[in-house]
Amino acid sequence: MAGLVFYGLAGLTLLSAMAVVFARSPVYAVLFLILSFFTSAGIFLLLDAEFLAMVLVIVYVGAVAVLFLFVVMMLDVDQKHLEKLRHYPWKSFFKAALRSGVLAGVFLGVFYMAKQLWGDKVVFLSDEGPLTHSFILAAMSFAVAYALYWPLSKWRFLLPSESAETVAWVEGALQFLIFAGVMTYVLFGAPSLEIKKEVFDAGGAPLSTTDALSHLLYSVYVIPFQGVGVILVVAIVAAIALCLRHRPGVRRQDVQHQLKTTKEDVLSLSQPKVGKGVEWTSR
């Protein structure tokens, strides 16, 4: 059951992340980004890391993504440039997808063969081993990355280098490494988290990570925690004090002045004579 939910969420994350790339309107792209944040928060929940999930939603969705949205709405996006994106080379995409699928299949085949041969002896390769999941996910992400980057190489204007294929390979390999690293960390790190939880578990039900974290933050680390709060105050004061300066010669809006302005201050009526025009008087 948990596996089903996980693959559903992961698939949705991947789909919405792809939609971020492919959405023609940048606003839609940011909205898809928010969706992918939500689904990754769901994955965090599955991993019993509900604090991380909430932080992801509050910080990234509530603050960062909304800022993104503001910025995107303020940008003057050139629609004509976007038109070029419409003619996506589907043919080469399918070719590349086929190729990367075969490649991922080869990877997985080699991996399973190794597992069959040495699965009893090497812990990494056993069913509980952390490498299994990370390897499958990494192979999947590699395949997706390869399938995406290959057709991109047809569009030279999007890529910095001439040999676009190399770029695609490099990026795919990078994704592979990143994904493998993250997954290994998550799966290796989880047991140590369990140990930390046991420290604060006073014989009853195991604490959630939020409980464990808050116990730590408000007991052992209360001074650094509050100190960081003071530092944030300092940062806010500094940012406001450094940016809000009333320099002479700088035009700025003065609401009080605007509100107090009357008709007599800004409006003057005159009766111009024919052919003379109105004389300009600056206030």
Binding site for another protein (CB under 8 A): 219-224, 227-228, 230-231, 233-235, 237-238, 240-242
Residue 192 CB, nearest approach to another protein (Å) = 12
Nearer CB in complex with another protein: 118/225: 225
Q: Give the residue with the Cβ less far from another protein, 131 or 212.
A: 212
CB within 8 Å of 2: residues ≥ 6 apart: 46
Q: How far is the CB of 31 from another protein (least distance, A)?
A: 36
CA 228 to each of CA 114, 216, 233: distance values in angstroms, whole numbers, following the listed order: 49, 15, 9
Q: Which is nearer to another protein, 110 or 231 (CB)?
A: 231
Phi and psi at 176, nearest 5°, equal: -55, -50
Taking the complex as a whole, how short is the minimal distance between the CB of residue 184 and another protein, in angstroms? 19
- Which two structure tokens, joined as six digits, stand for 51? 């604090």
Q: Which is nearer to another protein, 67 or 222 (CB)?
A: 222
> What distance, in Å, lies between the first and last C-alpha atoms of the chain?
76
Query: Given the complex with another protein, which of 169 and 221 has the nearer CB atom?
Result: 221
Nearest distance in Å: CB 206, another protein: 22
Output the smallest distance, CB 234 to another protein, in A: 5
Other C-beta atoms lying within 10 Å of the C-beta of residue 55:
14
Closest CA to 137 of 46, 10, 2: 10
Looking at beta carbons only, is 109 or 224 nearer to another protein? 224
DSSP run (H or E) holding 186? helix 164-200
- How far, CA to CA in Å, does 54 sit from each of 63, 102, 151, 191, 228? 13, 38, 37, 22, 20
CB 227 to another protein: min, Å: 4
**Residue 139: which of 118, 112, 160, 166 has the closest Cα?**
112
